[in-house]
């Protein structure tokens, strides 16, 4: 038999063996995603990989079964949901040596106590100043972000911009909107990959000479942040079109992890050991420095810096943590609510970032609350800007049925990306000013409910 036939038969046999082995082991080869599939993916899907997730079950309408769990130290990727004997944040945390057992169901926390947030806040500070970001924040960054960061141009009536016309992947996060804020440490690299089906399309960066453009190769772009803290506009421009996506690179002020204040702004103390060794609970390396003028800066199409600031008193500058995962989740929440023909142009964020100092000053015992890490928000829909939840179901009453619309929509969008996995709490009780929901992106699913039982109508 000729040598080439022997080689062919050997190769065929090896291929058949691999197929049989793969089938028996239950690990078939992963599917290959095209750029067309990626482009149509929801924000947050990791480029080039198919993430299979167990859908989060929706809570029952009237009665919810409760259980409790903690999180197992991860090896790689987001930590899996697990089970223990102690509730999770934003409640008092379990001890570091609590027993951990893997489970497959969503974590639900029973009878959560009240966590103080510092009040509902001022609608002028917890809502944006207009429906969405002005076009100038995206297309004319040089004037919107002048060289002297403390003297920004005042923007009034201008048409807003939502869709960029293309999608950019940064650290696995898929960004389809025309404006997104990415916190970054001084001197670190911002790597951007434009997801596009057309290889002939080319893109370039416009940074107005700030920072260093290190790579502009078709759809792969890289920028190095300057050492000076501040908000820098990194515009990605599709050549031959007007399509533009602006990244507001928030270059943070370094923090040593020990000092309890920055420029006289009280920070407090973060825990040395991350909760369950989950890297999502690592100490922050820095904070976004916010001047008085910076408070009006747009972070994404529907949200401004001022909505996320801690409510603690004190002069500017203030310091802030805000996670892109949370911004993406909030933008997608607005989009999904609008698809239900609801009049929603932003969300009232009654509480977002809280410093450990302020959290403790309120009397809270939680030291691992996600509010301390910049990826949590307590929110409701308030289009009429009266500081109360809107009557979303138009039945004439504002009650738990309205907040359940938001809650159900959050459940829906959370399953669209592993980056959105996190906590979801429903608060509909007379002790609160208005019903609201809590959302975060802690990396594992957790649910809790504080709902007042309704009295029978015949009483």
Work out the number of other CB atoms within 10 angstroms of the CB of residue 384.
Answer: 11
Task: Name the pLDDT band for 82 (thresholds 50, 70, 90).
Answer: very low
pLDDT at residue 66 above 60?
no
**Is there a contact between 120 and 434 (Cβ–Cβ < 8 Å)?**
yes
Residue-wise pLDDT for 9-49, tens only, equals 555 555 555 444 444 444 444 333 333 333 334 444 333 22
Q: Which CATH superfamily is domain 159-254 in?
A: Immunoglobulins (2.60.40.10)
pLDDT at residue 397 above 70?
yes
- Rounded Cα distance between 251 and 182, Å, is 9
Topology of the domain covering 257-285+303-458: Muramoyl-pentapeptide Carboxypeptidase; domain 2 (3.30.1380)
Q: Which residues contact 257 (CB under 8 A, 6 or more apart)?
A: 270, 283, 285
Residue-wise pLDDT for 342-363, tens only, equals 989 889 999 999 999 999 999 9
Give the pLDDT mean for 224-231.
95
- Rounded Cα distance between 386 and 390, Å, is 9
- Would you state the pLDDT for residue 106? 67
Residue-wise pLDDT for 253-308, tens only, equals 999 999 999 999 999 999 999 998 889 999 999 999 999 989 999 999 999 999 99
Q: Are domains 159-254 and 257-285+303-458 of this chain identical in fold?
A: no
Q: Name residue, tokens 């002005």.
A: 134
Give the pLDDT mean for 223-231.
95
Lowest mean pLDDT among 19-23, 25-29, 79-83, 159-163: 79-83
What are the boundaries of each domain within the chain?
159-254, 257-285+303-458
Interhelix angle for 400-414 vs 324-339, to 10°? 120
Q: Across the strands, what pairs with 427?
A: 436, 450
pLDDT at residue 135 above 90?
no
- Would you state the pLDDT for residue 241? 86
- Rounded Cα distance between 326 and 439, Å, is 8
- Rounded Cα distance between 211 and 155, Å, is 25
Query: Which of 265, 282, 275 has the alpha carbon at shortest distance from 355?
Result: 265
Q: What three-state secondary structure class fits 410?
A: helix
Give the pLDDT mean for 387-416.
94
Q: What three-state secondary structure class fits 20?
A: helix
Residue-wise pLDDT for 170-200, tens only, equals 999 999 989 999 999 999 999 999 987 677 7
Task: Name the pLDDT band for 416 (thresholds 50, 70, 90).
Answer: confident
| For the chain, the helix, strand and coil percentages under 3-state DSSP, each to the nearest 5 | 20, 25, 55
**Is there a contact between 202 and 239 (Cβ–Cβ < 8 Å)?**
yes
Of residues 114 and 91, more confidently modeled: 114
- Would you state the pLDDT for residue 95? 36
- Would you state the pLDDT for residue 196? 75
- Which helix (H) or strand (E) element contains residue 327? helix 324-339
Count helices and strands (H / E) in the chain: 8, 24
- Rounded Cα distance between 403 and 408, Å, is 9
**Is there a contact between 299 and 308 (Cβ–Cβ < 8 Å)?**
yes
**Is there a contact between 136 and 155 (Cβ–Cβ < 8 Å)?**
yes
- Would you state the pLDDT for residue 119? 72
- Would you state the pLDDT for residue 58? 32
Work out the number of other CB atoms within 10 angstroms of the CB of residue 361.
Answer: 16
**Is there a contact between 348 and 127 (Cβ–Cβ < 8 Å)?**
yes
């Amino acid at each position: 038999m000729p040598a080439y036939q022997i080689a062919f038969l050997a190769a065929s046999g090896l291929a058949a063996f691999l197929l049989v082995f793969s089938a028996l082991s239950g690990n078939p080869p992963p599917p290959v995603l095209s750029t067309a599939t990626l482009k149509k993916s929801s924000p947050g899907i990791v480029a080039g990989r198919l993430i299979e997730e167990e859908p989060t079950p929706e809570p029952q309408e009237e009665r919810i079964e409760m259980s409790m769990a903690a999180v197992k130290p991860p090896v790689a990727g987001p930590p899996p949901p697990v089970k223990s004997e102690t509730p999770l944040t934003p409640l008092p945390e379990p001890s570091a040596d609590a027993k951990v057992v893997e489970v497959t169901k969503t974590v639900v926390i029973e009878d959560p106590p009240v966590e103080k947030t510092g009040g509902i806040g001022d609608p002028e500070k917890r809502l944006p100043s207009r429906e969405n970001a002005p076009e100038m924040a995206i297309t004319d960054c040089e004037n919107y972000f002048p060289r002297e960061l403390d003297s920004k141009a005042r923007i009034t009536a201008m048409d807003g911009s939502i869709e960029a016309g293309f999608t950019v992947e940064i650290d696995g996060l898929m960004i389809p909107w025309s404006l997104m804020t990415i916190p970054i440490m001084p001197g670190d690299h911002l790597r951007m990959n434009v997801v596009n089906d057309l290889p002939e399309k080319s893109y370039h960066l416009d940074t107005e000479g700030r920072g260093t453009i290190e790579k502009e190769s078709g759809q792969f772009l890289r920028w190095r942040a300057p050492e000076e803290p501040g908000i820098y506009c990194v515009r990605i421009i599709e050549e031959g079109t007007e399509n533009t996506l602006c990244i507001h690179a928030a270059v943070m002020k370094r923090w040593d992890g020990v000092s309890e204040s920055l420029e006289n702004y009280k920070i407090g103390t973060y825990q040395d050991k991350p909760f369950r060794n989950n890297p999502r609970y690592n100490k922050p390396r820095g904070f976004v420095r916010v001047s008085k003028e910076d408070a009006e800066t747009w972070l994404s199409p529907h949200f401004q810096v001022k909505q996320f600031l801690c409510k603690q008193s004190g002069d500017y500058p203030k310091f802030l943590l805000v996670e892109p995962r949370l911004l993406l989740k909030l933008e997608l929440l607005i989009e999904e609510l609008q698809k239900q023909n609801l009049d929603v142009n932003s969300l009232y964020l009654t509480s977002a970032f809280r410093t450990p100092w302020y959290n403790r000053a309120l009397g809270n015992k939680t030291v691992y609350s996600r509010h301390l890490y910049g990826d949590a928000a307590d929110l409701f829909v308030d289009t009429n800007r009266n500081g109360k939840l809107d009557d979303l179901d138009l039945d004439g009453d504002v009650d738990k049925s309205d907040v359940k619309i938001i809650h159900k929509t959050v459940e829906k969008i959370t399953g669209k990306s592993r980056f959105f996995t996190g906590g979801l709490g429903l608060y509909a009780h007379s002790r609160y000013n208005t019903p609201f929901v809590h959302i975060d992106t802690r990396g594992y699913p957790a649910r809790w409910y504080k709902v007042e039982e309704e009295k029978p109508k015949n009483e």
